[in-house]
Amino acid sequence: MKLRRIQAIAVKEALQIVRDPRSLMIALLVPLMQMVIFGYGVNLDIRHIPLCVLDHENGQQSRNLVARFAASNYFSLRHAAGSDREVTRALDDGDCGIALVIPADFSQRLNDGGQATVQALLDGTDSNTANIAAGYAKSVVAAFSATAQLDAVQRRGGTLQTQTPVGVQARVWFNEALESRNFIVPGIVALVMAIVGTQLTSLTIAREWERGTMELLVSTPVHPMELMIGKLLPYFAVGLADAAICLGLAVFWFEVPFHGTVVTLLFTSSLFLTVVLCIGYLVSVAIRSQVGASQVALLATMLPTTLLSGFSFPIEQMPAAVQGATFLVSARYYVEILKAVFLKGAGVMELAVPILCLALYAAVVVVLAARAFRKTLD
């Protein structure tokens, strides 16, 4: 390989990036837009679920229960229904996600020391939100029941045995606040880098065909490996800049805690960038239309990265066959690395397995990309 030829190809490609508004927009504007849209749009935390209440009793105890629901951050009281028909209409129209129906003998049952039951009606069109809302409702009712039981015993002059033989003292590590943003935003960095990296390099060879400069390129003594390295070097620099922008936004804008080292992050990001750039180059060699190459690159990276990398859905919960397919997705390893570096402060030794897998992946796609280009016009 001749260094001068690689340098010449790299300078030519860099000039084309600067002169092409579409490439500049993909390189600089798209990562910012994607980080902001995904960072704010993808949020698994559920707060202020709209609540509808039908209180048949309207006594002090029932009002206390409703006040406890309204005071929590989980629910937001939107509607006080006067009949079952209004409750049904509120659920049908989507005005509330949960409806609480309190019976007329609610206080009497509590004061008699019996069991009082309230009905919670949930909108099951969003099963995830319904399950979470049911869990929140049970926790609010359980806290209210404990207080009501203690009050009833004290009124009778007795004492309540509150200690149980076995208790659980839970403490969450690595993401103490259980903020979904802390593990989603690092995954968004991988998604942005995968999409932008492949989009940029999917235009490199296709552009030569569309502009009619492929004949000149083929007639030069440049070796396919020199061509690939020269073509990808400017995009590697752009990709690193995009990675720095995305990671900076994750830390300083979205305030995701960062406990790892910049060296580990830079090393693993370079490996992943090599993978996605070579995939884009492969697509560009196979498809001679810029629009077609861009669409194929988007399809080949966005869906696997979004669905099979563990960024949005836990891999452990997938069927066994789908879990096996995730090993073919390079973003799976990078997402695992990003989460561990950000939240656990893991280093290279702790991440040896995903780093080796990513390095092996990079070696395979580099060889495939280098062998894909043929200096012919067929």
Number of domains in the chain: 2
Q: Give the contacts of 97 (CB within 8 A, at least 6 positions apart).
A: 49, 50, 51, 122, 123, 126, 129, 130, 133
For the entire predicted model, the pTM comes to 0.79
**Residues of the chain under the 70 pLDDT cut:** 113-114, 156-168, 170, 375-378
Same domain (yes/no): 239, 362: yes
- Rounded distance between C-alpha atoms, residue 305 and residue 41, angstroms: 17
In a domain, 30, yes or no: yes
Same domain (yes/no): 115, 237: no
Q: Are strands 119-122 and 98-102 parallel, antiparallel or unpaired?
A: antiparallel
In a domain, 127, yes or no: yes
In a domain, 170, yes or no: no
| Bridge partner residues of 76 (DSSP) | 50
Same domain (yes/no): 117, 30: no
Single out the residue in 124, 156, 188 at which a domain terminates.
Answer: 156
Query: What does the pLDDT read at residue 227?
Result: 87
Output Rg (C-alpha) for the chain, integer angstroms: 29
pLDDT digits (tens, 9 = 90+) for 129-155: 888 888 889 888 888 888 877 777 777
In a domain, 173, yes or no: no
- Rounded distance between C-alpha atoms, residue 132 and residue 330, angstroms: 32
Same domain (yes/no): 120, 266: no
Query: What does the pLDDT read at residue 172?
Result: 73
Query: What does the pLDDT read at residue 28?
Result: 77
Query: What does the pLDDT read at residue 170?
Result: 67
- Rounded distance between C-alpha atoms, residue 198 and residue 203, angstroms: 9
Query: What does the pLDDT read at residue 362?
Result: 93
- Rounded distance between C-alpha atoms, residue 188 and residue 181, angstroms: 10
In a domain, 11, yes or no: yes
Query: What does the pLDDT read at residue 377?
Result: 59
Give ∠ CA 377-290-225 in degrees, rounded to 5.
50
Same domain (yes/no): 279, 345: yes
Same domain (yes/no): 142, 10: no
Q: Give the contacts of 285 (CB within 8 A, at least 6 positions apart).
A: 205, 369, 372, 373
Query: What does the pLDDT read at residue 1?
Result: 73
The parent domain of residue 98 ranges over: 49-156
CA-nearest of 283, 304, 268 to 198 is: 283
